[in-house]
Structure 1
Amino acid sequence: MTIGELAKRSGLTQSRIRFYERIGLLTTVERRANGYRVYPPEALVILRVIAIAQSAGFSLDEIRTLLPDDRAHWDHDALTDTLRRKVADIDALALRLAQRRAQLVTLIDEIEARPDDIDCADNARRVLASLFDGD
């Protein structure tokens, strides 16, 4: 298929596809005598793997380790190990985000629990003091 067709089917721009080719992520490209690129159906699969991996937080260098040099011989153990590590990274990030969220909700509750007899500035001092008392 041509680069235009691949771009249309993948939802990527032609320049993005050329970029992936230039950095070695997309290697299944044939050049015709006229210089036009011709991509096999496998190129669409590779582009989808790249897109999924990027949306999961993989860097381009990490994606490079996921994709074997010889696309016919995937190292399943290395692939699953890499994917498991990324899942562990995502789990750790989710835990940190949940902790930060809880801290912010607590802060909101503290701010909203302003006694009626103090103004906003005094409430800010009260909330800040309570934050530092927790250290």
Structure 2
Amino acid sequence: MTIGELARRTGLSHSRIRFYEREGLLTNIERRPNGYRRYPPEAAGVLDLIKTAQEAGFSLDEIRALLPLDSSRGTHKALLDTLRCRVETIEAFQARLEQTKSGMIALITTIERKPIGSRITVPSKVYRVKSDEAGPMEEVIEEKMFGEIVIREVPKKTDRRRR
């Protein structure tokens, strides 16, 4: 199949197909005596997989590991492991987005209930970094709304119990 036929089948431009070839994502391309490329029938399926993987957020290196299983590339198990790992990453990201959404909705509700001109405090999460070092200071990581991260040193909290 010529590059024109492959481009029509996949909806990709000629330059994009050549790019994937240069990147080593598209292999087994035959060169005819006139220099034209001749693509095997399975090239369309490979390009569809590449497009789908890119839309799902995979990097080119990750896609390289997912490509068709021949003697020079990964195994069936490696493909499944990579895909399962990506699904777990997506699910963790979705959970975090859901938390952020809930926090924003709660903040909207709080703001709507306050009179105009009132002071509004934006919630944040604070993580104390455990340290074996002696000294009066410790690091605190504060994760604020909307993804801002602040790292600062603060006086260590001491365990002062009444006797």
Same fold (TM over 0.5): yes
Q: How far is the alpha carbon of 1:68 from its aligned partner?
A: 5.0
Mark the structure with the bigger radius of gyration.
2
**TM-score under structure 1 length normalisation:** 0.84
String of CA shifts for 1:13-60, please: whole Å, max 9, x gaps: 111100000010000211111111111110001001111111111110
Asked if the contact 2:2/2:38 (under 8 Å) is kept, the reply is: yes
Residue type of the partner of 2:45? V
Q: Structure 1 residue 100 and structure 2 residue 92: aligned?
A: no
Asked if the contact 1:29/1:40 (under 8 Å) is kept, the reply is: yes
Q: Following superposition of structure 1 onto structure 2, how do residues 1-135 of structure 1 map, counting pairs within 5 Å? A: 1-67=1-67, 70=70, 75-115=75-115, 119=116, 122-123=117-118, 125=119, 127-128=120-121, 131=123
Asked if the contact 1:3/1:39 (under 8 Å) is kept, the reply is: yes
Q: How far is the alpha carbon of 1:111 from its aligned partner?
A: 1.3
Residue type of the partner of 1:41? P
Runs of 4+ in structure 1 deviating by more than 4 angstroms, as ranges, are 71-74
Asked if the contact 2:30/2:38 (under 8 Å) is kept, the reply is: yes
Asked if the contact 2:65/2:73 (under 8 Å) is kept, the reply is: no
Asked if the contact 2:66/2:82 (under 8 Å) is kept, the reply is: yes
**TM-score under structure 2 length normalisation:** 0.70
Higher helix share: 1
Specify the SS of the correspondent of 1:57: coil
* Mapped partners of 1:81, 1:27: distance in 2: 23
Specify the SS of the correspondent of 1:102: helix
Structure with greater contact order relative to length (CA < 8 Å, sep ≥ 6): 1
In structure 2, the CA distance between the partners of 1:29 and 1:71, relative to structure 1 (3 Å rule), is farther
Q: Which stretches in structure 1 are left out of the alignment for 5+ residues?
A: none
Residue type of the partner of 2:100? R
Q: How many residues are matched? A: 126
Higher strand share: 2
Asked if the contact 2:32/2:38 (under 8 Å) is kept, the reply is: yes
Q: How far is the alpha carbon of 1:72 from its aligned partner?
A: 9.0
Residue type of the partner of 2:26? L
